Every structure is written in structure tokens, then in C-alpha cells.
Amino acid sequence: MYIGEFARLAGTTPKAIRLYEQLGLLPEPRRRGKYRVYRAEDLEWVAFIREAQQLGCKLSELVPLLAGLTRLAEFPWQAVEQLVAGKLAQIETEMARLQGQHQVLSQCAALLAQHPCRYGAPVQREPEARVQQESAERAHKVA
């Protein structure tokens, strides 16, 4: 199948397929003239790449795993396990950072809720402005 149909079946774009090839993430496709011709088995490579991306892996992290592979039988499962373990560690670190940030923001929100100016204390006006307001209020009462 040609790149357009292949990309559609893989749920991606021809541009992404070309990028995967350029990075060495996909085996070199056969050619029919100037056209790339893909096999149904190649869809498994793209499915793996897209799943890894959805799990937070960058393409640059996948290059050492997939570069130069031409068959799934050569797949480096131990390296994938190491990548997954590294991603889990990154997520745990980020979760701890976010929990700390959440705690600080919660404390800040509690302090703001107790602050006497929470709803806006009356603004102290300048004496000149106060005199003008009082005279306006008196004029309004007289009318």
C-alpha cells in the first residue's frame, strides 16, 4: 500500500510516516518507482510508536530502541522495560512536585480566605473627595 493509505490505516499523516522513516523508527519501505510501498506488518511499528508517544515518550527516546530494526523478532524488550521504568520515575517525581505545589497553594488560599480585606475593605478617601461626597449626599437628601 502507498503512504497515504498506510498513514490513514495507522491513524497518522504521511508527514509523520516520513519523519519516522527519517529518524530510523520504521524499516526502510520497498519502492515501486518513486513511491514507497508499505506492508501490513509495518502498521505494528507505527502503532508501537504512537502508543509510546501517548504514554509520554519522545521520538528521540525511541530512536535508540528502534533504529535499524527491520523485524519485530529483534525487538529489544529489555530496553523498553528500562524506558518504561524511567518514565514511571519521572512521573512520580512530577507528582511529588505537583503535590507540594498543591499544598502550598491550598495554604495560600486558606490564608486569603481569612484575610480581612478579602471582600475589599472600604477605601480611605482623600479629605477633599470625602467633602465632595458628603455635600453631594446632603444635596440629594434635600432634593
Q: What is the pLDDT of residue 50?
A: 94
Looking at residue 54, its pLDDT comes to 93
pLDDT of residue 3: 93
Separation of alpha carbons 6 and 13, rounded Å: 9
pLDDT at position 122: 52
Domain ranges for the chain: 1-75, 76-115
Average pLDDT for runs of 10 along the chain of length 143: 94 95 88 91 91 92 81 80 93 97 94 74 57 64 58
Q: What is the pLDDT of residue 135?
A: 65
The CATH T-level fold of domain 1-75 is: Multidrug-efflux Transporter Regulator; Chain: A; Domain 2 (1.10.1660)
pLDDT of residue 120: 60
